[in-house]
Structure 1
Amino acid sequence: MKYQHLFFDLDHTLWDFETNADATLRQLFDLHELGRYGTFTVEEFIQVYSDINHGLWRLYQNNKITQQQLRVTRFPRTFLKLGLREEDSPADISEQFTDILPKKSAVFPYTYEVLDYLRDKGYELHLITNGFKDVQYIKLNASRLTDYFQEIVTSECCGHLKPDCRIFEHALERSGAAASQSLMIGDNLECDVLGAYNAGIDQVYFNPEKRRHFNTITYEISCLSELKEIL
């Protein structure tokens, strides 16, 4: 086998973040009776939150804000954007979101089938994630993914965020892998693909929406089942 060690991203690659976040936000919309304001729908609430959250995550990944700032800022900003006052944001909604979301278990199609296939073929499977350690382990357990992976490397434990080469180097060291024996599978062109490339690791860009780009990538797939054609 050309590769021995396979490094997966978690959110948006195996664990279906958008589906799970959508279900969580709908639950919170009902729990806090946000429809009583009558000025926005649940779909608008979800869209505005998603846009703000993605923007804050980009700042976090570029070390412009802290984990705590991300967590306490996203909902007040959402309510302000929806035309409410900052104090209208329920005091406990951020903690509730962080508690409910990781317990959701939706994964992308073929996740279990492909992981079983790869494990049975003798590949060593690992995770590299920018997510927070406590949250990511809850996700893994809730979605029955934990036992597939030998090493689970989080940016919080490593001290470096993808695409920083140091988190990839840390993962290689922990797994006893050489870069030439390794393959990174992820959905983010900057964090997963460019980060792995700069660390000397071949990459699989998971692009289910078939977004156009002009990057040179080792492999590109739109469905996890296509990994069987590569590995």
Structure 2
Amino acid sequence: MPPSSSFRPAKAYRHLFFDLDHTLWDFEKNADETLRTLFIHYDLGRFGTFTVEEFIDRYRDINHALWRLYQGGKITQQQLRSTRFTRTLVRLGVAEADVPEGISQHFTDLLPTKSAVFPFTYDMLRYLQTKYTLHLITNGFKEIQYIKLDSSQLTPYFQEVITSECSGCLKPDRRMFEHALERTGASAEESLMIGDNLECDVLGAFNAGIDQVYFNPEKRRHFNEVTYEISCLSELKEIL
């Protein structure tokens, strides 16, 4: 079925569940800034085989592929963290023995201290906070997500933060959404999930009986059935 193209009257929602990365917290912008810092710090230009832009592009591709494996239960959190920079630099022509020691941990420590969010994030959260109870549901690693929230001053807006580690499963597993409902005391009928990922956020919420807002800032074409679709967070005012 084609995606929803117009907004419909909202149900009597009481609980809003937000994804964090790529929905509120601008992961790509923050990651790019962090990678540029690492490129300079470890003098990666000395290898002479790639530019900082090529480093960022290759890292992004490899990281996305590893995250898909992690979300599919095929690799562990530690395997994701320990292999992404080695794979990136080796594919850019660096000998594995020359991959800087500690670069992966440095990235993990530095990234969550960045604070870029999507346009209208704070305006919408202030507006919604007066009308609904707000929560986060994220596949991101628990300790990192809390640092991101503090660094970007998002912590005060959310009552509960549900991570894959606390629920024991990953989106789109419906059990993660059911855990979120149980933990927050919300029912599926009075809840709404807002996220950027058609599989993890939209399909996962749908399978748990929860309405969804697909955040699609790049206006990617798709053929999924969604409850609502927006390209800018400011459009939430038209729904809620």
1:109-128 Cα distance to aligned partner (Å, 9 max, x none): 000000000012x2000000
Structure 2 unaligned segments of length 5 or more: list them. Answer: 1-10
In the alignment, the residues of structure 2 paired with residue 27 and residue 206 of structure 1 have an alpha-carbon distance, to the nearest angstrom, of 29
Q: Are 1:216 and 2:228 matched, yes or no?
A: no
Distance in 2 (alpha carbons) for counterparts of 1:64 and 1:230? 37
The offset of 1:83, in angstroms, is 1.1
Q: Identify the match of residue 37 of structure 1 among 36, 47, 57.
A: 47
Could you tell me which of 110, 125, 134 is aligned with 2:120?
A: 110
Residue 136 of structure 1 corresponds to 145
Deviations 1:59-87 (A, max 9, x none): 00000000000000000000111011111
Q: Does 1:127 align with 2:136?
A: yes
* Contact 1:79–1:88, Cα closer than 8 Å, also in 2: no
Which aligned pairs between 1:1-231 and structure 2 lie closer than 5 A?
Answer: 2-120=12-130, 122-231=131-240
The count of aligned residue pairs is 230
- Tell me the TM-score normalised to structure 2 length: 0.95
Q: TM-score, normalised by structure 1?
A: 0.99
Shift of 1:142: 0.2
Distance 1:125 1:83 in 2: 46
Structure 1: 4+ residue segments shifted above 2 A: none
User: 2: CA distance between counterparts of 1:116 and 1:102?
Assistant: 22
Separation in structure 1 between the aligned mates of residue 96 and residue 47 of structure 2, nearest angstrom: 14
> Does structure 2 retain, via aligned residues, the 8 Å contact 1:8–1:184?
yes
Distance 1:192 1:86 in 2: 36
Deviation of 1:157 after TM superposition, in Å, equals: 1.3
Root-mean-square deviation (CA), in Å? 0.6
Q: Which amino acid aligns with 1:183?
A: L
Does the residue aligned with 1:77 lie in a helix, a strand or coil?
Answer: helix
Give me the whole-angstrom Cα distance separating, in 1, the residues matched to 2:96 and 2:218.
35
